[in-house]
C-alpha cells in the first residue's frame, strides 16, 4: 500500500465517518433504546429455542446429522437479530432524519455528498447490528449453544447480513412516504422470519414455495450463520455471501442515488 492510496482511501471514508460521528453523538443519550432492541431477540431465543426446543428435542437434518432443536434455531434467530438491528436503524431512523427532521438537508450544504451520508448510515447500522449480535452470541455461549470455536465465525457472518439489510433499509427509507409504510415492511420481515428457514429446513416446504425462500435475503443469512455455527461448511456459503454483498452494494448505491434526487432539487 502506497502512501497515496492510503490517503485516497482515507479521503473517501472520512466524510462518511463524520456522518457516523453525528449518529454516535445523537444516540449517546439513548443507549437504552439501542440495547433494548437486542433483548427482543433474546426473548425469541427463550421462547422458541428453549420453549419449543424442549418439546421437540433433537432433529435430523436433511443430510442425516442429528442436533438439538435449540442449536438449530439459535443461529437463525441470531441472523434475525442482525437483520432487525440494521433494518430498523436504516429504514425507520433514516426515514425520520430524511423526511421529518431534515437532517440531511443541512448536511448536504457541507462538502458531504449523498454517498457519504448513505455510507455513514451503513457504518452506524453495522455498529448497532453488531451490538445485537454481540449480546446474542454471549447469550448463546452462556447457554452452551456454541459447539466449537468455529461457531464464533457466526459473528463476522452476521456482518454480511447486517450489510445487506442496511442497504435494503436505506433504499426503503427513501421510498417510504408515511409511517404506515413500515407496517408493510414489518409484514414482509415477519414472513421472512417465519419462512426463511428459521424453524425448519427449506426442504420441508412444498416445491413451489422453495424458490421464493431462495430469494429471501434472510434465508441466505440464516444458511451462512447456521452453517458456520454448526461447523457445517458448504460451497453454497460463497453464494450466500455474494448474494448478501450484492444486496448491500446495490442497496447503498441505489439509496444514495435516491437521496441525491430528493435533496438536490
Q: Considering the complex, state which of residue 111 and residue 211 has its C-beta at the smaller distance from other proteins.
A: 111
Q: Considering the complex, state which of residue 107 and residue 154 has its C-beta at the smaller distance from other proteins.
A: 107
Q: Considering the complex, state which of residue 113 and residue 257 has its C-beta at the smaller distance from other proteins.
A: 113
Helix (H) or strand (E) holding 66, with range, is strand 66-68
Instruction: Give yes or no for a contact between 95 and 255, defined as CB atoms under 8 angstroms apart.
Output: no
Closest approach of Cβ 221 to other proteins, in Å?
A: 30
Indicate whether 109 belongs to the interface with other proteins (CB under 8 A).
Answer: yes
Indicate whether 206 belongs to the interface with other proteins (CB under 8 A).
Answer: no
Instruction: Fill in the per-residue mask, 3 to 32: x = in contact with other proteins (CB under 8 A), - = not in contact.
Output: -----------xx--xx-xx--xx------
Tell me which stretch binds other proteins (CB under 8 A): 53-61, 103-111, 184-192, 205-213. 103-111
CB atoms within 10 A of CB 149: 8
Closest approach of Cβ 17 to other proteins, in Å?
A: 8
Tell me which stretch binds other proteins (CB under 8 A): 99-107, 135-143, 227-235, 248-256. 99-107
Indicate whether 107 belongs to the interface with other proteins (CB under 8 A).
Answer: yes
Total length of the chain: 265
Q: Considering the complex, state which of residue 109 and residue 180 has its C-beta at the smaller distance from other proteins.
A: 109
Q: Which of 198, 197, 188, 146 is nearest to 165 (CA)?
A: 188
Q: Which three cell numbers stand for residue 234?
A: 458448504
Task: Name the DSSP letter for residue 146.
Answer: -
Instruction: Give yes or no for a contact between 143 and 43, defined as CB atoms under 8 angstroms apart.
Output: no
Q: C-alpha angle 16/128/218, rounded to 5°?
A: 105
Give the separation between CA 14 and CA 156, rounded to whole angstroms. Answer: 23
From candidates 13, 34, 59, 112, binder to other proteins by CB under 8 A: 112
In the three-class reduction of DSSP (H, G, I as helix; E, B as strand; rest coil), residue 207 is classed as helix
Instruction: Give yes or no for a contact between 230 and 151, defined as CB atoms under 8 angstroms apart.
Output: yes
Task: Match 445487506 to its residue by C-alpha cell.
Answer: 164
From candidates 62, 64, 111, 211, binder to other proteins by CB under 8 A: 111
Closest approach of Cβ 15 to other proteins, in Å?
A: 7
Q: Considering the complex, state which of residue 245 and residue 262 has its C-beta at the smaller distance from other proteins.
A: 262
CB atoms within 10 A of CB 256: 21
From candidates 12, 57, 65, 105, binder to other proteins by CB under 8 A: 105
Amino acid at each position: 500500500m502506497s502512501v497515496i492510496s492510503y490517503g485516497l482511501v482515507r479521503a473517501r471514508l472520512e466524510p462518511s465517518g463524520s456522518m457516523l460521528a453525528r449518529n454516535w453523538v445523537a444516540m449517546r443519550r439513548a443507549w437504552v433504546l439501542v440495547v433494548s432492541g437486542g433483548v427482543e431477540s433474546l426473548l425469541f431465543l427463550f421462547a422458541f429455542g428453549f420453549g419449543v426446543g424442549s418439546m421437540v428435542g433433537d432433529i435430523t437434518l436433511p443430510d442425516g446429522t442429528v442436533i438439538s432443536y435449540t442449536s438449530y434455531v439459535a443461529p437463525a434467530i441470531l441472523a434475525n437479530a442482525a437483520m432487525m438491528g440494521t433494518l430498523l436503524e436504516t429504514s425507520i431512523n433514516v426515514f425520520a432524519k430524511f423526511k421529518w427532521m431534515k437532517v440531511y438537508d443541512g448536511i448536504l450544504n457541507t462538502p458531504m455528498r449523498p454517498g457519504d451520508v448513505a455510507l455513514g448510515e451503513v457504518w452506524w447500522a453495522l455498529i448497532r447490528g453488531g451490538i445485537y449480535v454481540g449480546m446474542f452470541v454471549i447469550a448463546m455461549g452462556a447457554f452452551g449453544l456454541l459447539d466449537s470455536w468455529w461457531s464464533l465465525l457466526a459473528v463476522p457472518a452476521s456482518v454480511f447480513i447486517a450489510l445487506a439489510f442496511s442497504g435494503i433499509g436505506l433504499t426503503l427509507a427513501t421510498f417510504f412516504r408515511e409511517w404506515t409504510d413500515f407496517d408493510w415492511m414489518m409484514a414482509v420481515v415477519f414472513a421472512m422470519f417465519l419462512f426463511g428457514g428459521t424453524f425448519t429446513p427449506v426442504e420441508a416446504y412444498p416445491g413451489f414455495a422453495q424458490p421464493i425462500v431462495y430469494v429471501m435475503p434472510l434465508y441466505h443469512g440464516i444458511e451462512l450463520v447456521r452453517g458456520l455455527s454448526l461447523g457445517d461448511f458448504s460451497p453454497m456459503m460463497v453464494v450466500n455471501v455474494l448474494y448478501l454483498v450484492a444486496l448491500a452494494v446495490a442497496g447503498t448505491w441505489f439509496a444514495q442515488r435516491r437521496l441525491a434526487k430528493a435533496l438536490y432539487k
